[in-house]
Amino acid sequence: MKMRVGQGFDIHRFSDDPERRLVLGGVHFEGERGLVGHSDADVAAHAVADALLGAAGLGDIGEHFPDTDPQWKGVDSLVIVRHVAALVRAEGWTIGNVDCAIVCEAPKLAPRKPEMQRLLSEAAGAPVTVKGRRAEGLGTLGRREGIAGWAVAVIHAD
Ligand code: MG
């Protein structure tokens, strides 16, 4: 059996635009400050998509979904994960699982974790786990300037 691993990282800064919604793992966090981005700026979904692309050697999210392309403006990033998972499968790979960490001081992620995991898993067509971490006040994430996501994906082919 052939196996590959891929890692993904994404970071977006908080927006001053009160119209921007905060979306993480496909879940809308009502009343929370949104993130700046061409799409919905979902760092969890973007990290998951990049990990999958990396595992399959298919480049990165910026190549597939350029932020200059109006087609992807404001897009629900679960659509990106679904699209990327289909690309990976089209190359003959089976997605094993993806593990994602979201790092921020706020909001509290734990109450919405099951929902994020369900939505991301549905989009990827494989188990996606989500972990929330605080930045312990350190650096740009600790100063609440933005939110970052890391993900690792395993894919295999028989
Ligand atoms: Mg992004």
Range of the domain at 142: 2-157
The number of distinct structural domains making up the chain is 1
- Give the residue among 136, 141, 131 at the shortest CA–CA distance from 47: 131
Ligand 1: centre distance to CA 79 (Å): 13
Ligand 1: centre distance to CA 1 (Å): 32
The 10s digit of each residue's pLDDT in 20-50 is 999 999 999 999 999 999 889 999 999 999 9
Q: Round to whole Å and give the CA distance between 157 and 15.
A: 41
The 10s digit of each residue's pLDDT in 99-119 is 999 999 999 999 999 999 999
Ligand 1: centre distance to CA 137 (Å): 22
Crossing angle for the helix pair 43-56 and 113-124, nearest 10 degrees? 30
Q: Residue 111's CB: how many other CB atoms inside 10 A? A: 11
For residue 124, the surrounding DSSP H or E stretch is helix 113-124
Ligand 1: centre distance to CA 47 (Å): 7
For residue 123, the surrounding DSSP H or E stretch is helix 113-124
Q: Residue 61: give its domain's CATH number.
A: 3.30.1330.50
Ligand 1: centre distance to CA 66 (Å): 11
Give the count of alpha carbons within 13 A of 33, CB side only: 15
For residue 107 the two structure tokens come to 């909001």
For residues 66 and 53, which has the higher predicted lDDT (pLDDT)? 53
Ligand 1: centre distance to CA 84 (Å): 14
**Predicted pLDDT of residue 97:** 98
Is the pLDDT at 72 greater than 90? The verdict is no
Ligand 1: centre distance to CA 50 (Å): 9
For residue 22, the surrounding DSSP H or E stretch is strand 22-24
